[in-house]
Amino acid sequence: MASKKRLLVVIQEQRGSDRAIEHALAVARLRGADLVVVDVYSYLDAYTTALSDVTDAAELRQLVLASRKEQLEHYLAEHDDEIARRAEVRVLDGAPFLEIIREAARSGCELIVKVSDREGASQSRSFGSTDMHLMRKSPLPVWTVHAAHEDTARRILATVDPLALEPDARDLQRKTLRMAAEVAEATNASLHVLSTWELIGEETMRNSPFLKMDEARILSLLRETDYRARNAQWALACWFERELPNTTVPQWHVIKGSARELIPAFIESNDIELLVMASVAQTEVPGLLIGSTAESVLGDVDCSVLTVKPDGFATPVKLDDVRAESAERPETAAGF
pLDDT digits (tens, 9 = 90+) for 274-293: 999 987 644 443 433 355 67
* Residue 198 pLDDT > 60: yes
Q: What is the mean pLDDT of residues 45-73?
A: 72
- pLDDT of residue 334 exceeding 70: no
Q: What pLDDT does residue 17 have?
A: 79
The closest of 97, 125, 107, 116 to 40, measured between CA atoms, is: 97
pLDDT digits (tens, 9 = 90+) for 123-144: 455 567 889 899 989 999 999 9
Residues 6+ apart with CB under 8 A from 180: 156, 157, 158, 191, 193, 276, 306
Q: Please answer whether residues 323 and 172 qualify as being in contact, where contact means their C-beta atoms are separated by less than 8 angstroms.
A: no
Residue 235's pLDDT band (boundaries 50, 70, 90)? very high
| 200 vs 128 pLDDT, higher one | 200
Q: Report pLDDT digits (tens) over 1-38.
A: 346 799 999 998 777 778 889 999 999 999 999 999 99
pLDDT of 3 reads 63
In angstroms, what CA-CA distances link 285 with 131, 281, 290?
19, 8, 11
Cβ neighbours of residue 302 closer than 8 Å, sequence gap 6 or more: 123, 125, 146, 267, 268
Supply the pLDDT for residue 272.
95
Domain 6-325 in this protein, CATH class? alpha beta
Question: Cβ(72)–Cβ(11) under 8 Å?
Answer: yes
At position 107, the amino acid (one-letter code) is S
pLDDT at 268 over 90: yes
Compute φ and ψ for 179, nearest 5 degrees: -65, -45
| Helix 167-187 / helix 19-31 crossing angle, nearest 10 deg | 100
* 49 has pLDDT over 60: no
Q: Interior CA angle at 289 toward 287 and 290, to 5°?
A: 90
Among residues 7, 314, 283, 296, the alpha carbon closest in space to that of 159 is found at: 296
CA distances from 300 to 259, 270, 275 (A): 11, 15, 12
SS (H, E, C) 175-210: HHHHHHHHHHHHHCCEEEEEEEECCCCHHHHHHCCC
Average pLDDT along the chain: 83
How far apart (Å, rounded) are the C-alpha atoms in residues 81 and 59?
34
Higher pLDDT, 257 or 320: 257
- Contact by Cβ (8 Å): 36, 69: no
Residue percentage of the chain with pLDDT more than 90:
51
* Predicted confidence (pLDDT) at residue 325 exceeds the cutoff of 80: no
Question: Residue 305's CB: how many other CB atoms inside 10 A?
Answer: 22
Q: Which pLDDT value is given to residue 117?
A: 80
Split at pLDDT 50, 70, 90, the class of 121 is: very low
pLDDT of the residue at 279: 79
- Mean pLDDT of the region 43-67: 67
Q: Tell me: pLDDT of 208 over 70.
A: yes
Question: What end-to-end distance do the CA atoms of the chain give, in Å?
Answer: 17
The DSSP call for residue 160 is E
pLDDT band at 243; cut points 50, 70, 90: very high
